[in-house]
Amino acid sequence: MKELIEQFCSHFQIDSQRIDANALYADLQSLSLQYQTSSHSNSSHISSLDYSLHNHSNDVIHVYSDGACSGNPGVGGWGAVLIYPNDYIELSGGELLTTNNRMELLAAIEALRHVQHSQITLPIIISTDSQYVKKGITLWVQNWKKNGWKTSAKEPVKNQDLWQQLDSLNQQLHPEWQWIKGHAGHKYNERCDTLAVSARDQIV
């Protein structure tokens, strides 16, 4: 860096003796650190240089999703975190009149759509704190389809439109589904909750 400063001064015919190269170098380092901090905290597209996958495998796409609703039905929001080998993405959105289950489903749908559109063909692990989503897509959906989207009680499956979208993505991408306990301090689950609540509150 000091050599570059000397070359800069020479190129523009500046007297390098009048410049404190050490102080300028320190200032540039400080500005670089401040820029990195501010861009990471305000952007939804965050460099993996900061996150470094934090114990995540480089050959897997990790997805986290969560939903929130004020009233049920009521105003809702959803949030998702996607960790690619070289990228970190945050997604969120909300609806004026919805339910918590619909927001949980939509979070997973939008996250998997993003993976699909990325055209990155790696194994996917998706984590949700919703047993409704996890059990629905891994256990219940096959019987629902066999029964013409009816429950065992012969009632129409609630949220059929979203279940069909999620089922289609699930069949195309074959993600591994994991359940994690909500509000238990898991970094990315907590981040998804923050995103969902923020998206919800922006609608109110």
Q: Are residues 31 and 60 in the same domain?
A: no
> In this structure, are residues 57 and 48 in contact, taking their beta carbons and an 8 Å threshold?
no
- Token pair 């301090």 in the structure block, residue: 185
**What's the predicted TM-score (pTM) here?**
0.74
Q: Are residues 27 and 92 in the same domain?
A: no
Q: Is 87 annotated as belonging to a binding site?
A: no
In this predicted structure, the answer to whether residue 37 has a pLDDT above a threshold of 50 is no
72 phi, psi to nearest 5 deg:
-145, 85
Q: Are residues 124 and 197 in the same domain?
A: yes
Q: Is 20 annotated as belonging to a binding site?
A: no
Q: Are residues 26 and 56 in the same domain?
A: no
Tell me: the pLDDT tens digits for 132-164?
999 999 999 999 999 999 999 999 999 999 999
Q: Is 201 annotated as belonging to a binding site?
A: no
Q: What is the CATH number of the domain that holds 81?
A: 3.30.420.10
Q: Are residues 130 and 34 in the same domain?
A: no
Question: Cα(66)–Cα(189) distance, rounded to whole angstroms?
Answer: 7
In this predicted structure, the answer to whether residue 16 has a pLDDT above a threshold of 90 is no
The count of domains in the chain is: 2
> In this structure, are residues 166 and 134 in contact, taking their beta carbons and an 8 Å threshold?
no
CA dist 13 → 10, 27, 31, 137, 167 (Å): 5, 22, 25, 68, 66
Question: Cα(178)–Cα(125) distance, rounded to whole angstroms?
Answer: 7
Identify the weakest region by mean pLDDT among 43-52, 122-131, 191-200: 43-52
Question: Cα(78)–Cα(124) distance, rounded to whole angstroms?
Answer: 20
Q: Are residues 68 and 150 in the same domain?
A: yes
Q: Are residues 124 and 85 in the same domain?
A: yes
Q: Which of 156, 158, 138 is nearest to 147 (CA)?
A: 156
Q: Are residues 163 and 67 in the same domain?
A: yes
**Residues annotated catalytic, as ranges:** 66-67, 104, 129, 183, 193
Q: Which two tokens stand for residue 79?
A: 């949030």
Range of the domain at 13: 2-42
Burial of residue 6, with CB atoms counted within 10 A of its CB: 0-12 exposed, 13-18 middle, 19 or more buried: middle
Q: Are residues 16 and 87 in the same domain?
A: no
pLDDT confidence of residue 151 = 94
DSSP 133-192: HHHIIIIIHHHHHHTTSB-TTSPBPTTHHHHHHHHHHHHHH-PEEEE--TTS--HHHHHH
Binned at pLDDT 50, 70 and 90, residue 7 comes out as: very low
Q: Are residues 116 and 19 in the same domain?
A: no
> In this structure, are residues 64 and 129 in contact, taking their beta carbons and an 8 Å threshold?
no
Q: Is 66 annotated as belonging to a binding site?
A: yes
